[in-house]
Amino acid sequence: MELTTNQIQEIETYIKSKDVDYIDLKIEILDHLISDVEHKINKGFSFESALQLTKQKWSKHFRSSSSIFLGLQFSTSKVVLKKAVKAFRPFYVLYVVSCILPFVIFRNVSVDFTESRMSFVNAFFKTTTLLALLYFIFIIFKMMRSKEKTTYRFILKTQYLGISFLIIAQTVTSYFDKLGQINSVFVGFSFAGLATTYICHHFYKKHVLEIAKNKQRLRL
């Protein structure tokens, strides 16, 4: 038995009340709930009873939850978090490596630089981190203006603190210590900031793409 338009709207209202009205998940969740309700109706339940049983089944998926991968201070519905963690997990490895690897390498490897090369390295890190900082600010500004909710927007929100790495990189006077060796801590901050900027770029593009796909669906 297919549900009526009013019955589907009632399910949509329920989804909105659970704060899972994300455009990249809404249709998927709606289809699952409609299928569950229709299946129960075909077994002899009324729509009201079928909907109530479906709500009970899905309540655990709509509970607020958090993950160490995205920061325990950021919480959302479990069904949203599951997709967010799955999308972000590969980038978590990139983030950790970008923080630790430069520190380990330059902490244990001694390289002599001429004055000209030191100037080049300083200018390189200053310029790249400044460009990354400006782009990071652009992404935050665009997200603040965006009204659409996607899983990727939630991921982006968890990454905004990463801008602090770029700010620190801009306050650094020199990436070398008094002995002319690369300062592994400052380089680590820079790489972490650049990695976070790349991660934000990736999920910003995903967010924009989902909005475009949703607009196309609405036109059909």
The pLDDT score that the predictor gives to residue 126 is 94
Contacts 24+ apart (CB under 8 A), 72-81: 74/154, 74/157, 74/158, 76/19, 76/154, 77/18, 77/19, 77/20, 79/20, 79/25, 79/29, 80/20, 80/22, 80/25, 80/151, 80/154
The pLDDT score that the predictor gives to residue 4 is 86
Using 50 as the pLDDT threshold, list the residues of the chain that sit under it.
none
CB proximity list for 156: less than 8 A, separation 6 or greater: 139, 143, 200, 203, 204, 207
The pLDDT score that the predictor gives to residue 220 is 65
H or E element that contains 66: strand 64-67
Given CA atoms 62, 65, 67, 70 in this order, what sign does their dihedral have? Answer: positive
CB neighbourhood size of 61 (10 A): 17
Query: What does the pLDDT look like over 203-219, one tens digit per residue?
Result: 999 999 999 988 888 77
H or E element that contains 65: strand 64-67
d(CA 125, CA 181): 15
End-to-end CA distance of the chain, in Å?
A: 25
- pTM score, whole prediction: 0.87
What burial class does residue 21 get, using C-beta atoms within 10 Å of its C-beta: 0-12 exposed, 13-18 middle, 19+ buried?
Answer: middle
98 and 195 Cβ atoms separated by less than 8 Å: yes
